[in-house]
């Protein structure tokens, strides 16, 4: 008798709708366009008061198991939150702390590290991020990790540098990949420790700060097994890509809304421009890509929730499709608005910047498609019969 194959649960419950409504209202109240433009100019790049409000609502604790003082919710709930934050271009370190750091700790299997570090992340008192990229190409390959770690008695010492670290300039906790004699390993580092320097980078996306971090004899704590970070980081990236795809789907949906609203208001030759086929057809194509992006990200989150075998493929498919869809819709949004869309005063260009930056944050579409080919057993073209 053949085994029954588990399928992801794609149902949207009343609780899911309430969660979406709550987060959308929160973003409207705390992260309006005017507020966003104010905090973009600050040193931190986000508002601490809003961060505290989010913590009180349990948003940082969403994915943290109850045994680590979290809410123990799942990836589908997290996907809804990320979609709404992408829609609002939320500039704070939520993606860094929840999608990256929380998942890295959970994937590490290190119960002691989770017990020590996750409660602070869940409470919002610890801003955490993952530092894995380095200023070499292709930075996403584990073989390019040059940061090294060595034992010094009971402690570990790190030397090297990381780049493109999401919100690394405000992090209280860094989870860093480094090489030891045993292989790629994961370490927890406090930026306040001696030998750690961080500084914010100037980047395309004005709503998500990146940082560079250097380590010179910095003390670190091993997380997980020595030399065991390869599968941990692969799983972490898959989970983070699902969150990023949800963000991108939300951003694309907001761009569509902006285009439709403007095409109803803007008149040419005495008619709303939305009545012209060129604009109407463009908006229909935008809608199609938005709906496909939502479907892809939601399916990947449901696969993660039920831990089905297709999760690694679903995560990369969502990442590849949603990244390109967001960029395309953000570009078309500017075209619908004409020259107005790329002015500093209009939010369309902020989505345009976010779409380009997020599409390459954890690898580009070509890398995602190559990962899909590898995971379904297809080699390079010359190896395929």
How do the domains of the chain map onto residue ranges?
14-125, 130-227, 231-383
Give the pLDDT confidence score for residue 307 in this predicted structure: 87
Q: How far apart are CA 143 and CA 163, in angstroms?
A: 16
pLDDT band at 266 (very low <50, low <70, confident <90, very high): confident
Q: Class for domain 130-227, per CATH? A: mainly beta
Which CA distances in Å does 359 have to 54, 265, 317, 337? 26, 31, 13, 23
Find the mean pLDDT for residues 10-29: 92
pLDDT the model gives residue 4: 43
Record: fold of 231-383 = Butyryl-CoA Dehydrogenase, subunit A; domain 3 (1.20.140)
Work out the pLDDT band at 143, boundaries 50, 70, 90.
low
Cα–Cα distance for residue pair 230/215, rounded to 1 Å: 21
Largest CA distance in the chain: 79
Position 240 pLDDT exceeds 60: yes
Q: How far apart are the first and last CA of the chain?
A: 33
pLDDT at 385 over 50: no
| Average pLDDT over every residue of 246-272 | 90
Percent of the chain residues topping a pLDDT of 90: 76
Same fold, 14-125 and 130-227: no
Confidence of residue 9 (pLDDT cuts 50, 70, 90): confident
Q: Six-digit token pair at 111? A: 């119960």
pLDDT tens-digit map of 208-231: 999 999 999 999 999 999 999 999
pLDDT of residue 137: 55
pLDDT digits (tens, 9 = 90+) for 268-279: 787 877 777 788
- What average pLDDT does this structure show over 252-273? 87
Residue 2, pLDDT score? 42
* pLDDT, tens only, 366-380: 999 998 998 888 766
Residue 341 has pLDDT above 90, yes or no: no
pLDDT of residue 269: 82
The dihedral over CA atoms of 144, 145, 146, 148, expressed in degrees to the nearest 10, equals: -160
Within 8 A by CB and 6+ apart from 339, the residues are none
Q: What is the mean pLDDT of the chain?
A: 91
128 forms beta bridges with 173
DSSP 112-159: HHHHHHHHHHHHTS--EEEE---SSSSTTSGGG---EEEEETTEEEEE
Portion of the chain with pLDDT greater than 70, in percent: 94
Lowest mean pLDDT among 7-11, 112-116, 164-168: 7-11
Would you tell me how many other CB atoms lie within 10 Å of the CB of residue 265?
10
Q: 96-100, 176-180, 378-382: lowest mean pLDDT where?
A: 378-382
* DSSP at 184: E
CATH number belonging to the domain at 14-125, selected among 2.60.40.1180, 1.10.300.10, 1.10.540.10, 1.10.357.10: 1.10.540.10
pLDDT at 3 over 50: no
């Amino acid at each position: 008798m053949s085994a029954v194959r588990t399928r992801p649960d794609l149902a949207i419950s009343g609780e899911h709708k309430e969660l979406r409504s709550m987060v959308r209202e929160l973003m409207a109240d705390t992260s309006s366009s005017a507020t966003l433009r104010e905090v973009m100019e600050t040193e931190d790049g986000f508002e601490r008061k809003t961060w505290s409000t989010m913590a009180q609502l349990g948003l940082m604790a969403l994915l943290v198991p109850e045994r680590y003082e979290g809410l123990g919710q799942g990836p589908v709930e997290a996907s809804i939150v990320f979609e709404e934050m992408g829609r609002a271009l939320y500039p704070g370190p939520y993606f860094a702390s929840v999608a990256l750091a929380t998942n890295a700790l959970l994937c590490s299997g290190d119960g002691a590290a989770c017990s020590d570090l996750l409660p602070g992340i869940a409470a919002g008192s610890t801003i955490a991020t993952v530092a894995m990229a380095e200023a070499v190409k292709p930075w996403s390959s584990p073989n390019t990790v040059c940061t090294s770690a060595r034992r010094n008695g009971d402690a570990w010492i790190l030397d090297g540098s990381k780049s493109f670290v999401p919100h690394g300039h405000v992090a209280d906790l860094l989870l860093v990949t480094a090489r030891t004699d045993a292989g790629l390993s994961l370490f927890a580092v406090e930026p306040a420790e001696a030998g750690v320097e961080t500084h914010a980078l100037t980047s395309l996306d004005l709503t998500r700060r990146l940082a560079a971090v250097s380590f010179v004899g910095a003390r670190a704590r091993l997380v997980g097994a020595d030399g065991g970070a390869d599968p941990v980081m692969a799983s972490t990236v898959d989970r983070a890509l699902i969150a990023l795809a949800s963000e991108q789907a939300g951003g694309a949906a907001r761009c569509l809304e902006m285009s439709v609203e403007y095409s109803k208001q803007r008149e040419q030759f005495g008619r709303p421009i939305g009545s012209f086929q060129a604009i109407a057809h463009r908006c229909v194509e935008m809608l199609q890509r938005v709906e496909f992006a939502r479907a892809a990200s939601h399916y990947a989150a449901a696969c993660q929730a039920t831990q089905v075998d297709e999760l690694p493929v679903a995560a990369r498919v969502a990442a590849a499709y949603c990244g390109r869809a967001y960029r395309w819709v953000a570009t078309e949004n500017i075209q619908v608005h004409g020259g107005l869309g790329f002015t500093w005063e209009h939010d369309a260009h902020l989505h345009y910047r976010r779409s380009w930056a997020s599409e390459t944050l954890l690898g580009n579409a070509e890398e995602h498609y190559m990962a899909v080919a590898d995971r379904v057993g297809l080699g390079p073209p010359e190896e395929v019969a």
